[in-house]
Amino acid sequence: MAKKELAVVKGLDLARYMGRWYEIASFPSRDQPKNGTNTRATYTLNQDGSSVHVLNETFSEDGKRGFIEGTACKADPNSDHEAKLKVRFWVPPFLPVIPVTGDYWVLYLDDDYRYALIGQPSRKNLWILCRENQIDEEIYNQLVERAKGQGYDVSKLKRITHADPPPAGVNGQTDSKGIWWLKSIFGK
C-alpha cells in the first residue's frame, strides 16, 4: 500500500521562518558527523526575497566547528506550497563542482514559529527543530506523534546534545568548511 502524500504547512511566512534553528532530533544520516553536537541551521532570506541562504553547523566533541552552506527555494516556483523547498549544496564546498539537492518540507510549525517538524517525501529524513537549544518534553513528544502520523518510523530519531549556553560560532572556533560533510560521505 502506497503511503499518502505528506501534509505540509499552509501559508508559511518565509521571512518569519528565517533565523537560527537548533536541531533537537533527527534521523542519523551520512550528511552529518556521527558524534556532532550543538547542531543548528541559520536561514537568511536572500535579496531576491524568494530564496534562502542556508548555513548548517555542527561541532565535534573537541569543539571544532564544521559547516556547509547552500541555497533553498520553492521546489515548484508555480506552486502555492511555500513549505515545499529544495535545498542545494555544492560538493566539494570549497570548489563547487557537483550540486547535491534535497527536499526540505515544513510538515508542522507552531503559530509562534518556535518549533518545527521537517521532513522529506521519501520519509528517509526527519528533523525536529526549535528556536532554543532545548525543547519542552511534552512538545517534543507531540512532534514525534505528528511525525508518526505522517508515516515516519520515529524509532530512528536520535536526540542531539546541546551545550548551555550554545557555542557562539565562528569566534574562537576552528572551522572545517564542509569537511565533516565530505568525511561522512567518503568515510575519510
Domains and CATH numbers, the chain: 14-186 (2.40.128.20)
Residue 141: pLDDT over 90: yes
pLDDT digit string, tens, across residues 86-114: 999 877 666 667 788 899 999 999 999 99
pLDDT on residue 170: 52
Are the C-beta atoms of 123 and 152 separated by less than 8 Å? Answer: yes
Q: Which residue has the higher pLDDT, 74 or 170?
A: 74
Cell numbers standing for residue 4: 499518502
pLDDT band at 49 (very low <50, low <70, confident <90, very high): confident
Peptide bond into 92 cis (omega under 30): yes
Mean pLDDT (the chain) is 84
